Structure 1
């Protein structure tokens, strides 16, 4: 693996195109119903992996692309003073920004611990098995408290947090099943990777756009899992539960979270900002149940193929850097010295790879440097 300006550049270009595709599918009603959320989940995963490994591989092919890469390389190599280049300045700014983001990340972890410290003293503590028949491995703790703004998974603890609101038994079952699906699919760990991306790419706005909307896709996927196999009537009841929860919580002041300042990048929630798209997606669930596997494969090939290519600056050598010889001297044959140091002997149109030529060959054939 090799990290370079060129490998980072191609990663940013391909990522920008994939994020644009992500937004196009998500917010186009025809496309989201045609392609479904499973494609967006896979596309999100590919984008995250691509951003975490912006490198050249051993199989990567280098292509000269002087139109863009030459001006870019010249700009980055420009000396501000002595041997201090623009690239050096940008690297320092990037590292300072990363340091600030790491500091904020640590502060948020401390705030989350403070939230759990408060809830540990004030919350009513139950388990999933108190309300549902579930396998032992999914018998997560369920905490109830007034300070919880909406049903959620906070940080990296497998605890379901639920606000104190009046729900019927079936409605409460919907809420618990929803949060269980988040934990089953490790959505809290996906949030961790998103925070890592925000630390590294704090300067790249498209990453912020992506992280902001992955929350919606995670909710859509969980809604699909919870309602899988249910009748249209049961799906409508589930959607009604979502609306009822939002209505019950809309007038509340979320004192615990507002006072402690926990960032939304650290929790999986059922907030109102995603509700419209989730219900619209649910009520059109029979339009197409899953994305065509071939279409998924074609879309996934784009970022994978991009790993095989890297664009590099190119400047043609000046004339005096080429070696030349008379055409008459080449009629009987010549020795070609390749750029990697190897040699080939050309005689009467045929080629033979040779080791470093000895004095006898040198006396018979001219050498041309590649």
Structure 2
């Protein structure tokens, strides 16, 4: 790691290293992402203000029998792009589309499960990850995959007590909703630029995997065997290579001599306990005899 450390410690100007530059860029990115985070919350507040004036307001109990604890408000409006939970408000948002009573019930049950499992707080955690690790591309991939996992988990909860026919009808509801929403282009969300990381939605990007999972509950996406082999090999390979720092030995001609030059050398042992080395017509004061001089003749003063 020495080349990397040397690169990071390289001074650009006046004790300002490349590492300091990278940390400064990281911090600036965090500040920008945090600012965008709060801007999104302001936009979400604007969306709710618009929907408060324009939407049809219902409650879950208007569609199905439900425990009073989960009798959430249900807002229906043409400007809503798809069924969702937005921000931290416990309000179910549904687009204004023609659905049968049972299909509307499926949608509402789905959104109730999101609220029960506090999936909106999981999305908050993901947003915090994006703020801190904005420079790390795999974090964005992780957020997309967690969105898929959240949807699959809720689908399983909603359909766990349904018959095979009931699961099929639930899947038909998902498809019908997506078809009905394809014609929607301009919504309050698209106009205000609300980021998808701030709401839990049932968008088309996850539809295929969700339906696949509904009909095959043990559905797994296999990872490439070669990729697994490479990942497992990395720890072994990294431990088989040892990197050591290289330092060129300082050269000073006075510090080096040939063994043949010692043949005419000798040491004087003084009465005060010190030593004097006579070597090549030069003298060196010693406090003790170095092992390399142990074979030289010693003359007592």
TM above 0.5: yes
Q: Which residue among 180, 202, 206 is the counterpart of 1:270?
A: 202
- 2:97 counterpart (154, 165, 168): 165
Give the number of the structure whose alpha-carbon radius of gyration is greater. 2
Other-structure match for 1:126? 58
TM-score between both structures, scaled by the size of structure 2: 0.72
What residue in structure 1 maps to residue 287 of structure 2?
none
- In the TM superposition, what is the alpha-carbon distance from 1:95 to its structure 2 partner? 0.9
**Whole-angstrom distance in 1 between the partners of 2:175 and 2:219:** 24
Q: 1:82 aligns with which of 5, 10, 14?
A: 14
Q: What CA distance in whole angstroms lies between the structure 2 residues aligned with 1:125 and 1:74?
A: 63
- Does the 8 A contact of 2:213 with 2:219 survive in 1? no
The number of aligned residues is: 229
More relative contact order in 1 or in 2 (CA 8 Å, sep 6+)?
A: 1
Q: Secondary structure at the match of 2:93?
A: strand
Say which of 98, 119, 127 aligns to 1:187: 119
Which consecutive residues of structure 1, in runs of 5 or more, have no partner in the other structure? Answer: 1-68, 290-301, 303-312, 320-370
CA distance in 1, matches of 2:113, 2:151: 10
The residue number in structure 1 matching 2:149 is 217
Mapped to 2, the partners of 1:101 and 1:92 lie a distance apart of 14
Gaps of 5+ in 2: 221-231, 233-242, 250-301
- SS of the equivalent of 1:202 reads coil
**Structure (1 or 2) with the greater helix fraction:** 1
Aligned-residue CA RMSD (Å)? 2.2
Tell whether 2:105 aligns with 1:105: no
CA distance in 2, matches of 1:99, 1:253: 32
Q: CA deviation at 1:251?
A: 0.8
1:356 is aligned to: none
Taking the aligned partners of 1:77 and 1:248, their CA distance within structure 2 comes to 57
Contact 2:57–2:75 (Cα < 8 Å) also in 1: yes
1:71 aligns with 2:3: yes
Q: Deviations over 1:243-286 (max 9, x none)?
A: 1111111112232111111111101001111111110111112x
For the pair 1:280 / 2:212, whether they are aligned, the reply is: yes
Task: Tell me the secondary structure at the aligned position of residue 235 of structure 1.
Answer: helix
- Report if aligned partners of 2:8, 2:17 keep a CA contact under 8 Å in 1: yes
Q: Is the 8 A contact 2:33 2:131 kept in 1?
A: yes
- Per the alignment, residue 77 of structure 2 pairs with 145
Contact 1:239 1:279 in 2 (8 A): yes
> Residue 177 of structure 1 corresponds to which residue in structure 2?
109
